[in-house]
């Protein structure tokens, strides 16, 4: 680490997810480290906060660094920073007209995921393509071994089953299996019964990235203006096994 007291930068921002709840969860877990200093942001800004950072955590949706912020992110990894990216941090979406109604949710069109930020996705090591309907999935250790997942038993959570595209070299530490339709998405259905990455470890320069696909959460009003209210969806953030995994990942980022 470059700092005597670990400097953590937490970026939580974007739309259509319960950012307030997730931010509180992450801050509560980070509060277990008395020496840590935590900066909170809603986007990457100009990247200046990464200059002195040891550990970066991002829970975002359609929040992509560009220009100076992208260079700062690359520099952070080049010099050995560790980055934990969760759920929509791999997502860059837009709507493809005409308008559609998906289960009472009125959208401007199907959700598309064009490859418009290849440099960012290369740093992250994955790109979000689509997801199935929210449902229970079983997460288990993947083909690669790592201290973060050592001894981790399979666990079931309710989440959006993500379809990911790996970028560059990476180790799949956790995986799941599922098939089905992808309502509301351009890409789909996904009918091949094959392992789906859930936790990917990726290296860039002297730095490391952990990307964790599960992590959906949605509050009552988070899908406005598409629908006025929805039932609260805490997703895996209400699950002890998932929180235990987040603890492991934070310990990794803090080099504990």
Could you count the other beta carbons within 10 Å of the beta carbon of residue 145?
A: 11
Residue 133 lies in a domain: yes
Task: Return the percentage of the chain with pLDDT > 90, whole number.
Answer: 97
CATH number of the domain encompassing residue 224:
3.40.50.880
What domain count does the chain have? Answer: 1
Residue 195 lies in a domain: yes
Domain interval for residue 26: 7-253
Q: State how far the Cα of 196 lies from the Cα of 213, in Å rounded to an integer.
A: 10
Selection from 34, 84, 91, 85 nearest residue 62 by Cα: 91
Q: State how far the Cα of 54 lies from the Cα of 61, in Å rounded to an integer.
A: 23
Structure tokens at 205: 């320069």
What radius of gyration do the chain's Cα atoms show?
17
Residue 1 lies in a domain: no
Partner residues linked to 147 by β-bridges: none
Q: Is 113 exposed, middle or buried (0-12, 13-18, 19+ CB in 10 A)?
A: buried
Residue 2 lies in a domain: no
Q: Using one digit for the tens of pLDDT, what is the confidence trace for 150-179? A: 999 999 999 999 999 999 999 999 999 999
Residue 233 lies in a domain: yes
pTM over 0.95: yes
Q: Using one digit for the tens of pLDDT, what is the confidence trace for 101-157? A: 999 999 999 999 999 999 999 999 999 999 999 999 999 999 999 999 999 999 999
């Amino acid at each position: 680490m470059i700092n005597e007291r670990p400097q953590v930068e937490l970026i939580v921002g974007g739309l259509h997810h319960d950012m307030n709840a997730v931010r509180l969860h992450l801050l509560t877990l980070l509060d277990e480290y008395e020496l840590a200093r935590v900066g909170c942001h809603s986007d990457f800004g100009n990247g200046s906060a990464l200059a002195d950072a040891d550990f970066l955590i991002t829970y975002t949706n359609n929040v992509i660094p560009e220009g100076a912020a992208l260079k700062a992110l690359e520099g952070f990894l080049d010099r050995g920073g560790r980055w934990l990216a969760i759920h929509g941090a791999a997502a860059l979406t837009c709507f493809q007209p005409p308008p559609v109604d998906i289960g009472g949710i009125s959208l401007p069109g199907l959700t598309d995921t064009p490859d418009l930020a290849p440099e960012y996705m290369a740093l992250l090591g994955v790109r979000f393509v689509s997801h199935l309907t929210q449902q229970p999935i079983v997460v288990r250790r993947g083909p690669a071994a790592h201290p973060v997942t050592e001894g981790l038993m399979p666990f079931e959570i309710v989440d959006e089953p993500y379809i990911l595209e790996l970028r560059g070299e990476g180790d799949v530490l956790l995986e799941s299996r599922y098939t089905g339709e992808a309502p509301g998405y351009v890409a789909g259905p996904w009918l091949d019964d094959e392992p789906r990455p859930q936790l990917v470890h990726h290296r860039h320069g002297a730095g490391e990235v952990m990307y964790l696909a599960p992590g959906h959460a949605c509050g009552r009003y988070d899908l406005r203006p598409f629908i006025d209210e929805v039932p609260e969806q805490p997703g895996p953030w209400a699950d002890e096994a998932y929180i235990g995994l987040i603890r492991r990942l934070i310990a990794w980022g803090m080099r504990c």
